[in-house]
Amino acid sequence: MKIASYLSDDGTPATAVVQEDALIDLNSCGLPGDMMDLLRSGIDVAAIRSALKNGRMLPLEDSTLLAPVPNPGKVLAIGLNYRDHVEESGMEAPKHQVWFNKQHNCITGPYSPINLPSVSPMLDYEAELCVVIGRTCKHVPRERATEVIAGYCCGNDVSVRDWQLRAQTFQIGKSFDTHGPIGPYLVTPDEVGDPHALELRCLVNGEERQHSNTRHLIFDCYDAIAHLTQAFTLDAGDVLFMGTPSGVGAAMKPPSWLVEGDVVRVEIEKLGYIENTVVPETADTVIG
């Protein structure tokens, strides 16, 4: 099942099931109209399907899709998680999982613009599989990790490389506003099957830059959940970025940074695609 967040007529986020070229609004089916509420109540695919016959249908092409989880709690990303990316980075393969935070403000919609920062030209892309957590969980063994996954989506771990490398945490350089597009919708595990057998591509202006398969993850989705929940609780709506393969702009010779007008497309098998255009940041002071 594909579950989207979209912009409702009153300008607030709403949830819907995607069926071919239409959205079926979940609130009109008597189901939670907010993605976080839906996740916290538990996504029962069979129950949702049963309720859809009473739902209001909207043309998909006339709808504005938002990030599937517009306001996630935690946004976590793992670094150096494909061997070919480790090699192009000139680093050693990690012995342990290497995680960093992306601030929730970075999250943006699947077709929304991404900002070229006013403070740096070193803007880069990273095509990634994202995992959306569906249940509050702690100390989850690997063999039970599937129980806490609500679904999967495409993601782009947009990175400002000079800011990223100023600190070992990577946090600021990975957290600029709009630098976490995800979507186009949440695809539930029953429709995805094995998340570790998905083709993944990134194209910039139609040119393929990255092409891999999630079977090449060093630490897979289940490893990630088992590892993170040894340290802290994961909550419904948390988003995990699972790392990027080789082909990033920083590794090209010379580096190929994103510039104004570039269109970055991330495609993942069974999950659809996101496509974002680079626009100059408006560097106006905002207070309050």
Convert the pLDDT of each residue in 11-44 to its tens digit.
999 999 999 999 999 999 999 999 999 999 999 9
Choose one of 19, 34, 66: the last residue of a domain.
66
Residues 175 and 261 in one domain: yes
On whether the CB atoms of residues 268 and 154 are closer than 8 A, the answer is yes
146 in the same domain as 14? no
Residue 170 and residue 159: Cα distance in Å, rounded?
A: 9
The pLDDT value recorded for residue 224 is 98
CA angle, residues 88, 91, 94, in degrees to nearest 5: 115
The reply to whether 136 and 185 lie within a common domain is yes
Q: How far is CA 219 from the centre of its chain?
A: 17
Whole-angstrom distance, CA of residue 130 vs CA of residue 75: 10
- Asked if residue 132 lies in contact with residue 237, where contact means CB atoms within 8 angstroms, the answer is yes
pTM: 0.97
What is the DSSP secondary structure assignment for residue 69, as one 8-state letter?
S
- Please say which residue of 66, 89, 113 terminates a domain: 66
H helical segments located in 11-152: 35-41, 45-51, 83-88
What pLDDT is attached to residue 91? 83
Residue 139 lies in a domain: yes
**Each residue's pLDDT tens digit, 104-159:** 999 999 999 999 999 999 999 999 999 999 999 999 999 999 999 999 999 999 99
Domain assignment of residue 16, given as a range: 2-66
| Residue that terminates a domain, selected from 21, 36, 66 | 66
Between CA 242 and CA 200 the distance in angstroms is 12
Average pLDDT estimate for 86-112? 94
Q: 242 in a domain, yes or no?
A: yes
The number of CA neighbours under 13 Å toward the Cβ of 85 is 28
Q: Tokens for 10?
A: 């009153």
Q: Are 54 and 80 members of one domain?
A: no
User: Would you give the end-to-end CA distance of the chain in angstroms?
Assistant: 39
Return the pLDDT at 54.
Answer: 83
Q: Which residues pair with 79 in a beta bridge?
A: 98
DSSP state of 251: G
**For 174-186, how does the pLDDT look when each residue is reduced to its tens digit (9 = 90+)?**
999 999 999 999 9
In a domain, 287, yes or no: no
The pLDDT of 229-236, averaged and rounded, is 98
Look at the chain and report how many structural domains it folds into: 2
Q: What is residue 89's predicted lDDT score, i.e. its pLDDT?
A: 86
Indicate whether 229 and 158 sit together in one domain. Answer: yes
Alpha carbons 93 and 177: distance in angstroms, whole number: 30
Average pLDDT of the chain to the nearest whole number: 96
Q: What's the average model confidence in pLDDT over 161-174?
A: 95
Same domain? For 87 and 187 the reply is yes
Cα–Cα distance between 288 and 284 in angstroms, integer?
13
Given the structure tokens 């947009």, which residue do they identify? Answer: 158
| Cα gap 114→109, rounded to integer Å | 9
- Which residues, in sequence order, are bridge partners of residue 278? 114
Q: Which amino acid is at 98?
A: V
In terms of domains, do 142 and 244 share one? Answer: yes
For residues 152 and 16, membership in a common domain is answered with no
What is the per-residue DSSP string for 214-245? Answer: GGGBSS-HHHHHHHHHHHS-B-TT-EEE----
What per-residue confidence (pLDDT) applies to 90?
86
Look up the CATH number of the domain holding residue 125.
3.90.850.10
Report percent pLDDT > 70 for the chain: 100
Helix, strand, coil percentages for the chain (3-state, nearest 5): 25, 35, 40
* Sign, Cα dihedral of 26, 274, 46, 222: negative
8 A C-beta contact, residue 267 and residue 180: no
Region 63-76 average pLDDT = 97
Residues 26 and 93 in one domain: no
118 located within any domain = yes
157 part of a folded domain = yes
128 and 185, same domain (yes or no): yes
**pLDDT tens digits, one per residue of 233-242:** 999 999 999 9
Residue 13 is predicted with a pLDDT of 96
* CA separation for the pair 218, 246 (Å, rounded): 13
What pLDDT does residue 243 have? Answer: 98
Residues 39 and 85 in one domain: no
Over residues 63-75, mean pLDDT: 97
* Whether residues 101 and 32 fall in one domain: no
